[in-house]
């Protein structure tokens, strides 16, 4: 895994740190639209952060919100990370599908703006019609506000400034979005859930592509099960309060992972037999109904046995 040096840290909005990383060796810092990077932190955590187009060549840029309920990632990056520190990074990856629609409508809330910037860049470069909703507590304290305003698509931004009583009316905003448009959204869970419910109600959920930072109500427990790993020939018993990932690790079977919340897709593993009780938000409806893939960090089984390609 490549290493990168922290070469820039700045507070770009209250509680938001902009961090730039220079890879140790010359690797491409291009990244797919909506892409993210996994950072392996010295405290043992692996966390994913969306990439923002960086004005300095050969550097990666992320922006990290200090979360009040931090599980250790944002807290570390805000209180312990310093210039010159080295972090292990993954190659850039994305969970967003390419934009294939005549119009791209973006719904960003707070720090959720970060993955949508490069997607909007791409949509504009493809000649698509763009609409960019940006919900902020206060425009004067919004991350990247000036950068966005100077983009070629800056004129499409509709700012919803809560401090001025201009909260976004999602239902009204969606009423003018055609069913052919692709909708990309990122923000707090409640905001994304509201969007999903509105699109469910009009029967067009498939036009929505979301990125979640965390699953607030994620339940990973359930009935115990047995997991057979065909490649290694190991059978693993998974306890009621244990994730499949934890049980695999306990048995010496390494599976790459990052978010541990079913969001990033890093731990997705092929299923050879069994029915999956999906708890992730990464897999598509088609992938879920096929029962051929599982996010082992959080999902369980509807059957009492799974056979995995591990």
Least gap, CB of 121 to ligand FES (angstroms): 25
Tell me the per-residue interface mask from 104 to 123 with ligand FES, x by CB under 6 A, - otherwise.
--------------------
Least gap, CB of 161 to ligand FES (angstroms): 33
User: Is there a contact between 106 and 185 (Cβ–Cβ < 8 Å)?
Assistant: yes
Residue number, 73 or 105, with CB nearest to ligand FES: 73
Residue number, 73 or 265, with CB nearest to ligand FES: 265
Least gap, CB of 93 to ligand FES (angstroms): 11
CB atoms within 10 A of CB 241: 10
Chain residues 254-283 in contact with ligand FES, contact rule CB under 6 A: 257-260, 262-267, 280, 282
Least gap, CB of 38 to ligand FES (angstroms): 9
Residue number, 118 or 299, with CB nearest to ligand FES: 299
Residue number, 262 or 274, with CB nearest to ligand FES: 262
User: Is there a contact between 269 and 293 (Cβ–Cβ < 8 Å)?
Assistant: yes
C-alpha 266/C-alpha 255 separation (Å) is: 9
Q: How many residues bind ligand FES (CB under 6 A)?
A: 14
Stretch that binds ligand FES, among 7-15, 198-206, 229-237, 251-259 (CB under 6 A): 251-259
Long-range Cβ contact pairs of 144-148 (< 8 A, separation 24 or more)? 144/12, 144/52, 144/63, 144/113, 144/114, 144/117, 147/117, 148/113, 148/117
Chain residues 291-310 in contact with ligand FES, contact rule CB under 6 A: 295, 297
Name the 3-class secondary structure at 291.
coil
Q: Is 226 exposed, middle or buried (0-12, 13-18, 19+ CB in 10 A)?
A: middle
Name the 3-class secondary structure at 63.
strand
Least gap, CB of 281 to ligand FES (angstroms): 9
Q: Record the tokens describing residue 268, joined without a space.
A: 């997705």
Residue number, 46 or 168, with CB nearest to ligand FES: 46
Residue number, 95 or 118, with CB nearest to ligand FES: 95
Residue number, 112 or 265, with CB nearest to ligand FES: 265
Least gap, CB of 243 to ligand FES (angstroms): 9
Task: For residue 71, report the phi and psi dihedrals to the nearest 5 degrees.
Answer: -95, 15
Considering only the C-alpha atoms of the chain, give the largest distance between any 2 of them, rounded to a whole number of Å: 61
The contacts of residue 198 (CB under 8 Å, 6+ apart) are 170, 171, 174
Residue in 20, 25, 24, 23 with CA at minimum distance from that of residue 7: 20
Q: Record the tokens describing residue 20, joined without a space.
A: 């730039």
Least gap, CB of 24 to ligand FES (angstroms): 25
Stretch that binds ligand FES, among 94-102, 120-128, 156-164, 252-260 (CB under 6 A): 252-260
Q: Record the tokens describing residue 6, joined without a space.
A: 């922290």
Least gap, CB of 272 to ligand FES (angstroms): 19
Residue number, 199 or 264, with CB nearest to ligand FES: 264
Residue showing tokens 């879920």:
288
Q: Which residues bind ligand FES (CB under 6 A)?
A: 257-260, 262-267, 280, 282, 295, 297
């Amino acid at each position: 895994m490549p290493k990168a040096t922290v070469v820039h840290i700045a507070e770009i909005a209250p509680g938001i740190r902009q961090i730039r990383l220079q890879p140790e060796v010359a690797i491409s810092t291009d990244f797919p639209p909506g892409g993210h990077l996994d950072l392996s932190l010295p405290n043992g955590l692996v966390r994913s952060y969306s990439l923002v187009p960086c004005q300095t060549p050969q550097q990666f840029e992320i922006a990290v919100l200090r979360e009040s309920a931090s599980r250790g990632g944002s807290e570390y990056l805000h209180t312990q990370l310093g210039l010159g520190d080295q972090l292990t990074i993954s190659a850039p990856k994305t969970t967003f599908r390419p934009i294939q629609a005549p119009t791209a409508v973006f719904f960003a809330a707070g720090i959720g703006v970060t993955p949508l910037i490069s997607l909007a860049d791409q949509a504009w470069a493809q000649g698509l019609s763009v609409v960019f909703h940006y919900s902020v507590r206060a425009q004067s304290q919004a991350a990247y506000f000036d950068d966005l305003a100077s983009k070629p698509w800056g004129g499409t931004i509709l700012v919803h400034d809560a401090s001025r009583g201009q909260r976004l009316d999602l239902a009204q905003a969606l009423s003018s979005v055609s069913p052919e448009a692709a909708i990309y959204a990122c923000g707090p869970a409640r905001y994304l859930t509201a969007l999903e419910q509105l699109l469910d109600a009009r029967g067009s959920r498939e036009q929505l592509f979301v990125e979640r930072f965390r699953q607030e109500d994620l339940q990973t427990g359930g009935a115990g099960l047995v997991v057979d790993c065909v490649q290694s020939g190991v059978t693993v018993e998974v306890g009621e309060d244990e994730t499949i990932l934890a049980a695999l690790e306990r048995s010496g079977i390494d599976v790459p992972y990052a978010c541990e919340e079913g969001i990033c897709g890093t731990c997705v593993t092929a299923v050879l037999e069994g029915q999956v009780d999906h708890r992730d938000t990464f897999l598509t409806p088609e992938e879920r109904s096929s029962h051929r893939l599982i996010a082992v960090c959080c999902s369980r089984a509807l059957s009492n046995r799974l056979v995995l390609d591990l």
